[in-house]
Each structure stands twice: as C-alpha cells, then as structure tokens.
Amino acid sequence: MDAEANLATMWMLVAVGVPAAVIYGTVMVIGWEIETLLESVVTGAVVIGSLVWMTYCTWRIRLVSVSRVPDLDLPDQ
C-alpha cells in the first residue's frame, strides 16, 4: 500500500467518523436527558457498526483497486 492510499483511507474514515461521533454524542446527551438509555445504546451500536462496515468496505475497495492495476511490461528504450 502506498502513502497516498493510506492518506486517502484516513481522510475517508475521518470524514465519516467525525460526524458520526458528533451525532452519537448528541444522541447520548439527549438520551440521558430523557432517560432512554436503550435508545442511546442502540444508536451507538448502529454508529459503531456503520464505522466498522465503512472501514471494511474501504479496505475491500482499496484491495480490489490495487489488484486490478495491470503490470506494465514496457520494453527498455
């Protein structure tokens, strides 16, 4: 894996993770105020599951895109 792919993956995870963390934190606060812990736990599980799924999909996309790059056998000039 090259540095650009790792950097792109990191930024993709940050772009997904930061809003998810803000949404999760907001729901946790609202959940505690209205005392519905179950709702907060379910929302947290959905957010964490989504992050895991996005990480897996990103890894698979990167793996497939790297494996599809043809080897260039250029003649020596």
Per-residue pLDDT reduced to its tens digit, 20-61: 777 777 777 766 665 566 677 777 788 888 888 888 877 777
Q: How many domains does the chain have?
A: 1
Q: Is residue 72 part of a domain?
A: no
Q: What is the pLDDT of residue 36?
A: 66
Q: Is residue 44 part of a domain?
A: yes
This prediction has a pTM of 0.39
Q: Is residue 33 part of a domain?
A: yes
User: Cα–Cα distance between 75 and 69 in angstroms, integer?
Assistant: 18
Confidence of residue 2 (pLDDT cuts 50, 70, 90): low
User: Cα–Cα distance between 32 and 38 in angstroms, integer?
Assistant: 10
Contact 39, 27 (CB under 8 A): yes
Confidence of residue 63 (pLDDT cuts 50, 70, 90): low
User: Cα–Cα distance between 1 and 51 in angstroms, integer?
Assistant: 21
Domain membership of residue 23 as a residue range:
3-65
Q: Is residue 76 part of a domain?
A: no
Q: Is residue 71 part of a domain?
A: no
User: Cα–Cα distance between 53 and 20 in angstroms, integer?
Assistant: 13
